[in-house]
Amino acid sequence: MRREWAWRACQLRLYAGVSRRLISESARLHTPQPPVDLRRTRNIGIIAHIDAGKTTTTERMLYYSGYTRRIGDVDEGSTVTDFLPAERARGITIQSAAISFHWPPPQEPSKIRPIIISDEISGVSGNSDIVPRSTVSHNINLIDTPGHADFTFEVLRSLRILDGAVCILDGVAGVEAQTEKVWTQADHYKIPRIVYVNKLDRDGAAFSMTVKEIGVRLHGWPAVCQIPWWKDGKGKLTGVGDVVGLRGLLWEGGDGKSVRALDLEELEKIDQAFAAEIKKARIALVEVLSEYDDVMVEKFLDYGEDHIAIPAIQITEALRRCVLQSPQIIIPVFAGASFRNIGVQPLLDAVVDLLPSPEERPNTEISIASQRGTLQEFLTGKLAIPQPSIDADGKHRKVPKHDVPTIKNLQGCALAFKVVNDPKRGVLVYVRVYSGSIEKNVGLFNTNLNVTEKAPRILKMYASDAVEVDSIPAGQIGVIVGLKYARTGDTLISYSGANHKTGPPAPLNTLQLRPIAVPPPVFFTSVEPNSLSEEKHVLDSLSLLLREDPSLQVSVDSESGQTHLAGMGELHLEIARDRLLEDFKAKATTGNIEISYREAITTPSESFTEQLNRDVAGKYARASCTASVSPLDESTSPVHSDTEHQTILSIDSNRVIIHHPTITKAGLPTSSEQPPLPSHLHFSAIISAFQAGVSAALARGPKHGFAVQEAQIDLHLDPSSQIFSETTSAALSTVVRQAVHVALKDAVAKGGSVLMEPVMLVTISVNESSLGSVVHDISSARGGQVVSLDGDSTTGSNSSNTAAQGQDDLVTINPDRIYTPPDPFQSSSAGQEYAAVDRQRQITARVPLKEMVGYLNHLRSLTGGRGTFVMTVDGFERMSSHRQKDVLNEMRGDIA
Ligand SMILES: Nc1nc2c(ncn2[C@@H]2O[C@H](COP(=O)(O)OP(=O)(O)OP(=O)(O)O)[C@@H](O)[C@H]2O)c(=O)[nH]1
List of E strands, 534-664: 553-556, 563-567, 588-590, 594-595, 598-601, 608-616, 619-631, 646-651, 654-659
CA distance 485 to 444: 11
User: What is the structure's pLDDT at 43?
Assistant: 94
Beta-bridge partner residues of 223: 332
- What distances in angstroms separate CA 869 from CA 49, 148, 771, one per listed residue? 11, 11, 13
User: What is the structure's pLDDT at 78?
Assistant: 54
CATH number for the domain formed by residue range(s) 38-360: 3.40.50.300
SS3 390: strand
CA distance 202 to 677: 69
CB 248 within 8 A of CB 242: yes
Pairing of β 646-651 and β 654-659: antiparallel
SS3 214: helix
Mutational test site, ligand 1, from 54, 58, 74, max ligand atoms within 8 Å of CB: 74
**Closest to 703 (Cα-Cα) out of 758, 731, 745:** 745
**Closest to 690 (Cα-Cα) out of 739, 644, 640, 747:** 739
Q: Which fold has domain 365-513?
A: Elongation Factor Tu (Ef-tu); domain 3 (2.40.30)
- 37 annotated to bind ligand: no
CA distance 431 to 460: 10
- 51 annotated to bind ligand: yes
Q: Tell me: the pLDDT tens digits for 705-733?
A: 888 989 999 999 887 777 777 788 888 88
CA distance 848 to 855: 12
Cis amide prior to 848 (ω within 30 degrees): no
Beta-bridge partner residues of 366: 373, 513
User: What is the structure's pLDDT at 483?
Assistant: 93
Beta-bridge partner residues of 196: 168, 334
- 418 annotated to bind ligand: no
Protein residues whose CB sits closer than 6 Å to any atom of ligand 1: 48, 50-56, 74-75, 91-93, 146-147, 198-199, 201-202, 337-340
Kindly report the protein residue whose alpha carbon is nearest to atom 5 of ligand 1.
339
User: What is the structure's pLDDT at 599?
Assistant: 93
523-593 with 757-822+833-895: one CATH topology? yes
Residue type, 654: N
Q: Distance of alpha carbon 521 from its chain centroid, rounded?
A: 16
- 406 annotated to bind ligand: no
Q: For residue 350, report the distance from its CA to the centre of ligand 1, in Å.
A: 21
Please, what is the angle between helix 312-324 and helix 344-354, to 10°? 60
- 201 annotated to bind ligand: yes
Contacting residues for 268 by C-beta, under 8 A, at least 6 apart: 275
Burial 508-532 (b: 16+ CB within 10 A, else e): bbbbbbbeeebebbbbbbbbebeee
CA distance 410 to 450: 16
CA distance 701 to 712: 14
Ramachandran category for residue 304: left, alpha or beta (phi over 0 → left; psi -120 to 50 → alpha): left
CATH 3.40.50.2000 describes domain 603-751: no
Helix segments in 2-53, DSSP class H: 2-14
Domain ranges for the chain, please list them.
38-360, 365-513, 523-593, 603-751, 757-822+833-895
Q: Could you give the angle at the alpha carbon of 454 between the alpha carbons of 450 and 457, nearest 5°? A: 140
User: What is the structure's pLDDT at 826?
Assistant: 58
Q: For residue 617, report the distance from its CA to the centre of ligand 1, in Å.
A: 52
State which H helix or E strand residue 886 sits in: helix 881-895
Q: For residue 705, report the distance from its CA to the centre of ligand 1, in Å.
A: 43
**Closest to 181 (Cα-Cα) out of 888, 870, 884:** 870
Q: Distance of alpha carbon 81 from its chain centroid, rounded?
A: 17
Kindly report the protein residue whose alpha carbon is nearest to atom 21 of ligand 1.
51
Phi first, then psi: what are they for 123, rounded to 5°?
90, -10
**Closest to 359 (Cα-Cα) out of 475, 438, 191:** 475
- What distances in angstroms separate CA 217 from CA 737, 790, 814, one per listed residue? 48, 9, 11
Q: For residue 335, report the distance from its CA to the centre of ligand 1, in Å.
A: 15
Q: For residue 448, report the distance from its CA to the centre of ligand 1, in Å.
A: 38
CATH number for the domain formed by residue range(s) 757-822+833-895: 3.30.70.240
Cis amide prior to 507 (ω within 30 degrees): yes
- Domain range 523-593, its CATH number among 1.10.287.990, 3.40.920.10, 3.30.420.40, 3.30.70.870: 3.30.70.870
Residue type, 673: E
User: Which DSSP symbol is given to 510?
Assistant: G
Kindly report the protein residue whose alpha carbon is nearest to atom 7 of ligand 1.
53
Q: For residue 841, report the distance from its CA to the centre of ligand 1, in Å.
A: 24
CA distance 331 to 165: 11
State which H helix or E strand residue 315 sits in: helix 312-324
SS3 242: strand
CA distance 621 to 831: 75
CA distance 784 to 358: 44
Helix segments in 756-854, DSSP class H: 771-776, 802-805, 830-834
Tell me the torsion sign for CA atoms 857, 862, 865, 871: negative
User: Which DSSP symbol is given to 815?
Assistant: G
Kindly report the protein residue whose alpha carbon is nearest to atom 11 of ligand 1.
51
User: Which DSSP symbol is given to 753?
Assistant: E
Q: For residue 170, report the distance from its CA to the centre of ligand 1, in Å.
A: 9
Burial class (CB in 10 A: 0-12, 13-18, 19+), 73: middle
CA distance 85 to 91: 10
CA distance 703 to 691: 22
User: Which DSSP symbol is given to 556?
Assistant: E
Query: What is the separation, in whole angstroms, between the first and last Cα of the chain?
Result: 73
CA distance 103 to 26: 26
**Closest to 47 (Cα-Cα) out of 355, 456, 286:** 355
Mutational test site, ligand 1, from 47, 339, 575, max ligand atoms within 8 Å of CB: 339
- What distances in angstroms separate CA 623 from CA 98, 689, 719, 746, 840, one per listed residue? 46, 12, 10, 22, 62
CB 43 within 8 A of CB 191: no
- Over its C-alpha atoms, the chain yields an Rg (Å, rounded) of 29
Q: Could you give the angle at the alpha carbon of 125 between the alpha carbons of 120 and 128, nearest 5°? A: 50
CB 247 within 8 A of CB 262: yes
- 482 annotated to bind ligand: no
CA distance 661 to 674: 10
CB 726 within 8 A of CB 621: yes
- 200 annotated to bind ligand: yes
CA distance 165 to 351: 8
Residues of the chain short of pLDDT 50, as ranges, are 1-32, 87, 91-96, 110-111, 113-129, 388-402, 795-808, 828-833, 835-837, 895-896
**Closest to 143 (Cα-Cα) out of 32, 48, 40:** 48
User: What is the structure's pLDDT at 810?
Assistant: 66
- 54 annotated to bind ligand: yes
Helix segments in 37-176, DSSP class H: 54-64, 85-90, 113-121, 152-159
- What distances in angstroms separate CA 470 from CA 33, 421, 480, 888, one per listed residue? 10, 22, 11, 58
Q: For residue 434, report the distance from its CA to the centre of ligand 1, in Å.
A: 33
CA distance 97 to 422: 12
Tell me the torsion sign for CA atoms 777, 783, 787, 791: negative
Q: In ligand 1, which atom is closest to the CA atom of 48?
A: 19
Please, what is the angle between helix 177-188 and helix 207-218, to 10°? 50
Ramachandran category for residue 469: left, alpha or beta (phi over 0 → left; psi -120 to 50 → alpha): beta
Pairing of β 477-481 and β 457-462: antiparallel
Q: Could you give the angle at the alpha carbon of 214 between the alpha carbons of 212 and 219, nearest 5°? A: 110
**Model pTM score:** 0.75
User: What is the structure's pLDDT at 184?
Assistant: 83
The number of helices, as runs of H, and strands, as runs of E, in the chain is 24, 40
User: What is the structure's pLDDT at 895?
Assistant: 45
